[in-house]
């Protein structure tokens, strides 16, 4: 059997295919490595002067921490001259904090010469408060406008007050301190106390700053995350005469009570009258019953001989004379003979 020699063209084709396959494999491996190893981010960090190794970035990948969320704030902190390392930032991210917001707050505090260590800023952020807003509020105080507060002076006149409270964040008390709602409630309570202790509402209208002084003297920012700088009275309106209205309502209530008691006494009097009428009728019935016994007694006396016939007639004449006298004594009544009554 004759063996044909392999041509040089076929060998070159085979070599070319193998080379292409190797290049593709190398590109795939490199793309996978570059997607896992943030070489570009490492180069950016080195260019910014941040000393971080490529293995640290790989370790972030293995710990499921996005390297960009750590290195971008780290570069920012390094440029601002802050003493922060990647371990602190990574730990704060794993705890559920916002690393970029904390670094921004640290930069703002550094520029404003406000002492704010990283640990406190991280604690404030993990507590659910906006640490960057707190730093900004420390530099630029915030004005809180209270809702309309209604209070009554001692003379019974209602005053409606609206105040503006200028507060500054107290970074040392942000963790565990009361919020804006507490400040508004305390200021409202102080306004009610200040107006309620005033003898006349006109004094409050003449000097509304007395409310501010009274409220500020109470130290309402104790235990809160803010420091009250000033309390300004924005508006004071005169409301209703609550004292007169209360007196009117009390008088109306007293009147209704008196009417109810009078009605009760009237009902008792009516009931007593009905009882007396019933008692009179009962007594009359007893009188009629007693009078009915008189003829029986007389008949019994006649039968037993205790009463004579002449005595009976004499008694009848006395009764007739008595009846005649009674008829004559009544005005406008004629006698039995039909004569006109004597005037």
CATH code for the domain of 236: 3.30.479.30
pLDDT of residue 343: 45
115/173 same-domain check: no
1 is a domain residue? no
Residues 321-339 have a mean pLDDT of 69
Three-state secondary structure string covering the chain = CCCCCCCHHHHHHHHHHHHHHHHHHHHHHHHHHHHHCCHHHHHHHHHHCCCCCHHHHHHHHHCCCCHHHHHHHHHHHHHHCCCCCHHHHHHHHHCCCCHHHHHHHHHHHHHCCCCCCHHHHHHHHHCCCCHHHHHHHHHCCEEEECCCEEEECCCCEEEEEEEEEEEEECHHHCCCCECHHHHHHHHHHHHHHHHHCCCCHHHHHHCCHHHHHHHHCCCCCCCECEEEEEEEEEEEEEEEEHHHHHHHHHHHHHHHHHHHHHHHHHHHHHHHHHHHHHHHHHHHHHHHHHHHHHHHHHHHHHHHCCCCHHHHHHHHHHHHHHHHHHHHHCCCCCCCCCCCCCC
Q: Is the pTM of the predicted complex or chain greater than 0.95?
A: no
The confidence band for 169, taking pLDDT boundaries of 50, 70 and 90, is confident
Residues 315-338 have a mean pLDDT of 73
Query: Where a domain ends, among 139, 172, 198?
Result: 139
Does 2 score more than 70 pLDDT?
Answer: no
Average pLDDT of every residue of the chain: 80
126/149 same-domain check: no
Query: Where a domain ends, among 115, 139, 163?
Result: 139
239/162 same-domain check: yes
pLDDT of residue 6: 47
Domain range for 70? 27-139
């Amino acid at each position: 059997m004759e063996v044909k020699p392999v041509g040089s063209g076929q060998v070159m084709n085979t070599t070319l295919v193998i080379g292409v396959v190797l290049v593709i494999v190398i590109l795939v491996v490199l793309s996978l490595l570059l997607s896992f190893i943030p070489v570009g981010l490492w180069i950016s960090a080195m260019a910014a002067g941040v000393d971080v190794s490529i293995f640290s970035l790989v370790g972030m990948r293995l710990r499921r921490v996005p390297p960009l969320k750590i290195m971008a704030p780290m570069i920012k902190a390094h440029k601002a001259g802050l003493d922060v390392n990647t371990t602190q930032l990574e730990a704060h991210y794993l705890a559920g904090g916002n690393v970029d917001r904390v670094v921004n707050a640290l930069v703002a505090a550094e520029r404003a010469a406000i002492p704010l260590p990283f640990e406190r800023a991280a604690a404030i952020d993990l507590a659910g408060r906006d640490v960057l807003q707190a730093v900004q509020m420390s530099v630029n105080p915030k004005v809180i406008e209270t809702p309309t507060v209604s209070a009554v002076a001692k003379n019974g006149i209602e005053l409606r007050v609206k105040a503006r409270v200028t507060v500054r964040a107290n970074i040392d008390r942000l963790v565990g301190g009361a919020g804006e709602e507490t400040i508004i409630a305390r200021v409202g309570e102080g306004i009610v106390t200040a107006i309620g202790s005033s003898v006349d509402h006109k004094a409050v209208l003449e000097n509304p700053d007395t409310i501010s002084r009274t409220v500020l003297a109470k130290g309402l920012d104790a235990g809160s995350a803010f420091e009250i700088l000033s309390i300004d009275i924005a508006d004071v309106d005169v409301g209703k005469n609550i004292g007169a209205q209360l007196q009117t309502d009390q008088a109306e209530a007293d009147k209704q009570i008196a009417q109810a008691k009078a009605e009760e006494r009237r009902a008792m009097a009516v009931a007593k009258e009905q009882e007396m009428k019933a008692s009179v009728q009962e007594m009359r019935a007893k009188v009629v019953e007693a009078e009915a016994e008189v003829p029986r007694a007389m008949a019994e006396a006649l039968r037993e001989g205790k009463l004579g016939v002449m005595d009976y007639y004499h008694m009848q004449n006395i009764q007739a004379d008595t009846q005649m006298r009674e008829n004559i004594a009544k005005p406008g009544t004629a006698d039995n003979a039909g004569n006109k009554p004597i005037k």
